[in-house]
Amino acid sequence: MRGGPGVAASPPERKRTEAATQSAVEIYRDIIKENIEYDHLLRHSKIDREELDGIVELLVETVCTARKTIRVAGDDYPAELVKAKLLKLNSGHIEFVMDCMRENTTKIRNIKKIMRFPQLQLIFCYK
């Protein structure tokens, strides 16, 4: 054993990377919640906590992806462009998407897909 008996081995590199990634996820989650005025939406909109948490997690997953491109409405965009636009979303954008989903009369089979695409398409409509 390197360092002799009784000396703790340093953690594998992978664990340090996972810890760094986890903290990045937490940081982005906090940034997104602040940007979309999470607490305001819970108090002053028709969106319930479960719906809002689902939206936040989809945004965090997308912002934290390691992919080079992200497909939006059938087109591939550089991931950094999509991430930058997602980080500009505010409470008005979230309320608009949720209002559109409430007006939808089609049966939803894949909620994750349905929730992801309106949000991503929305950001490309706003300049």
pLDDT > 70 in the chain, percent? 64
46 lies in some domain: yes
Measured torsion, CA atoms of residues 14, 16, 18, 24, in degrees rounded to the nearest 10: -150
7 lies in some domain: no
Share the mean pLDDT of the chain. 76
Expressed as residue numbers, the domain containing 102 is 15-125
4 lies in some domain: no
24 lies in some domain: yes
The pTM score is 0.68
Question: Residue 46 in contact with residue 98, Cβ under 8 Å?
Answer: yes
40 lies in some domain: yes
The three-state secondary structure class of 5 is coil
pLDDT tens digits for range 45-86: 888 899 899 889 989 999 999 999 988 877 888 999 989 999
10 lies in some domain: no
Number of domains in the chain: 1
